[in-house]
């Protein structure tokens, strides 16, 4: 299997982009990534997206986006794995290059969740859960995460504000990211008085509904070394690309506090890259809710069960800590346009590994991981990148 590298990145700002349609937002990210890579065409374009059918009455996004970008006669498809759609699309792009089917591939994560024409956004997000055994009974996606968080507080006897550190760190980092949706730091006091959405989840535990797109250009590592002769930041190699599923419904899990999909996904990634959790310089975590950040850290080998929140409380997750996470604001502050998030994470790891992270630069970062979670841990995609 030949190596695969990233030679171009692009992103739109994240927010309520009422002035841009889905295809325009995707164009913004793709054209930026193509310009960054110095390419004018590609062999394939894969779109990570979850909600376009339900919210925009538009499927067939692979060809829609390629068409908007003036690309014809190439392979196009949409890849969907709920909130892990972005990284699942990257998986396909990696396999397309690794197999030798394609030389140059574009992967774009895209979601338009505001100013939509179709179904209600909350109902759309519930399609990530089991429609017949979870959603039908009225539980929303935030409701499912609230049940898990409540269980965490009970089982591990941690205080209600144990999760504050995740949100504070994300907002601190997002303040320095020009593409982040929320650029205001928050205090512990603000977290403590934030309105509750679904007990015990409050507004500052939760990532926002928003629009955005992020894109990467992939090619073989051998070709990347040729292409990047005059490139301003070189290239970044994808050292591991792995995915694992769990039960779709939370009530079917052996233990709702253990993300077995994340355990398997991370273990596969570490094996592929030949590294361990301790070798990583940063980790873009799936902090759609603060509880998910804690569970992801525990499942991926950074903390023992019930102790993920301590990494936040003790400051380890800061940009200058021992394990920086959400370094550009994470899902909480940069925003979580669901199908785009997995690609935003990758773009941000590339920024960190190539010295493009500005005020949030993790000094000397050489090895970074991103984990993208679909549903409440039902699909988990993990990538490790090295510069």
The catalytic residue positions are 83, 336
Nearer to a second copy, 44 or 197 (CB): 44
Helix axes 164-174, 290-299, angle to 10 degrees: 100
Q: Say whether residue 67 binds a second copy (CB under 8 A).
A: yes
Q: Say whether residue 129 binds a second copy (CB under 8 A).
A: yes
3-class secondary-structure state, position 56: helix
CB of 258 to a second copy, least distance (A): 13
Are 176 and 285 within 8 A, CB to CB? no
Among 5, 11, 12, 54, binds a second copy (CB under 8 A): 54
Q: What six digits make up the tokens of 204?
A: 């500052």
Q: Say whether residue 69 binds a second copy (CB under 8 A).
A: no
Among 76, 167, 179, 207, binds a second copy (CB under 8 A): 76
Nearer to a second copy, 73 or 178 (CB): 73
Are 233 and 271 within 8 A, CB to CB? no
Q: Say whether residue 248 binds a second copy (CB under 8 A).
A: yes
Omega before residue 335 within 30° of 0, cis: no
Among 14, 25, 37, 56, binds a second copy (CB under 8 A): 56
What own/partner pairs with CB < 8 Å and gap ≥ 24 does 119-126 have?
119/54, 119/55, 121/51, 121/55, 121/209, 123/54, 124/51, 124/54, 124/55, 125/51, 125/338
Are 107 and 89 within 8 A, CB to CB? yes
Distance (Å) of CA 342 to CA 106, 215, 324, 370: 14, 10, 18, 8
CB of 55 to a second copy, least distance (A): 9
Among 29, 37, 106, 126, binds a second copy (CB under 8 A): 126
What's the rounded Cα separation, in Å, for the pair 312 and 163?
7
Q: What six digits make up the tokens of 109?
A: 């994560």
Among 39, 123, 277, 367, binds a second copy (CB under 8 A): 123
Q: Say whether residue 62 binds a second copy (CB under 8 A).
A: yes
Among 30, 64, 288, 347, binds a second copy (CB under 8 A): 64
Q: Binding segment for a second copy among 10-18, 155-163, 237-245, 313-321 (CB under 8 A)?
A: 237-245
Q: Binding segment for a second copy among 191-199, 239-247, 278-286, 299-307 (CB under 8 A)?
A: 239-247
Q: Say whether residue 164 binds a second copy (CB under 8 A).
A: no
Nearer to a second copy, 21 or 356 (CB): 21
Burial of residue 91, with CB atoms counted within 10 A of its CB: 0-12 exposed, 13-18 middle, 19 or more buried:
buried
Are 292 and 145 within 8 A, CB to CB? yes
Residues contacting a second copy: total by CB under 8 A: 68
- 104 - beta bridge partners? 219
Q: Binding segment for a second copy among 12-20, 69-77, 326-334, 352-360 (CB under 8 A)?
A: 69-77
Q: Say whether residue 92 binds a second copy (CB under 8 A).
A: yes
Distance (Å) of CA 59 to CA 14, 23, 39, 53: 22, 12, 27, 5
Nearer to a second copy, 59 or 307 (CB): 59
Contact residues toward a second copy (CB under 8 A) are 1, 21, 23, 44, 50-51, 53-54, 56-64, 66-67, 71-82, 88, 91-92, 95-96, 98-101, 117, 123-124, 126-132, 135, 241-249, 252, 260-261, 264, 374-375, 378-379
């Amino acid at each position: 299997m030949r190596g695969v590298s990233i030679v171009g990145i692009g992103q739109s700002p994240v927010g309520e982009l009422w002035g841009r349609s889905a295809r325009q937002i995707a164009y913004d990210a793709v054209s930026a990534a193509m310009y960054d890579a110095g390419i004018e065409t590609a062999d394939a374009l894969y779109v990570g997206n979850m909600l376009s059918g339900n919210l925009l009455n538009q499927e067939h996004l692979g060809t829609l986006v390629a068409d908007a970008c003036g690309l014809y006669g190439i392979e196009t498809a949409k890849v969907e794995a709920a909130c892990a759609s972005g990284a699942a699309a990257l998986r396909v792009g990696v396999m397309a290059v690794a197999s030798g089917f394609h030389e140059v591939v574009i992967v774009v994560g895209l979601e338009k969740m505001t100013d939509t024409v179709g179904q209600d956004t909350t109902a759309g997000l519930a399609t990530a859960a089991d429609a017949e055994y979870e959603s039908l009974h009225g539980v929303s996606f935030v409701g499912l995460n609230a049940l898990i968080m409540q269980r965490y507080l009970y089982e591990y006897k941690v205080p209600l504000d144990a999760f504050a550190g995740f949100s504070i760190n994300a907002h601190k980092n997002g303040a320095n990211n020009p593409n982040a949706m929320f650029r205001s730091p928050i205090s512990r006091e603000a977290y403590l008085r934030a309105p509750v959405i679904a007990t015990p989840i409050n507004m500052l535990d939760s990532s926002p509904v928003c629009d955005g797109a992020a894109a990467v250009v992939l090619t073989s590592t051998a070709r990347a070394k040729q292409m990047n002769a005059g490139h301003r930041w070189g290239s970044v190699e994808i050292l591991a690309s792995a995915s694992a599923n769990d039960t779709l419904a939370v009530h079917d899990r052996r233990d709702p506090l253990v993300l077995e999909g994340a355990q398997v996904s991370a273990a596969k990634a570490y094996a592929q890259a030949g590294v361990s959790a301790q070798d990583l310089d940063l980790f873009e975590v799936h902090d759609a809710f603060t509880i998910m950040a804690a569970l992801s850290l525990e499942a991926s080998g950074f903390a023992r069960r019930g102790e993920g929140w301590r990494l936040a409380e003790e400051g380890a997750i800061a940009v200058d800590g021992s394990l920086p996470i959400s370094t550009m604001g994470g899902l909480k502050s940069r925003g979580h346009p669901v199908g785009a998030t997995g690609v935003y994470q990758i773009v941000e790891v590339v920024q960190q590994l190539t010295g493009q992270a500005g005020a949030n630069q993790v000094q000397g970062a050489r090895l970074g991981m991103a984990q993208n979670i679909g549903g409440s841990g039902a699909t988990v995609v993990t990538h490790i990148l090295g510069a």
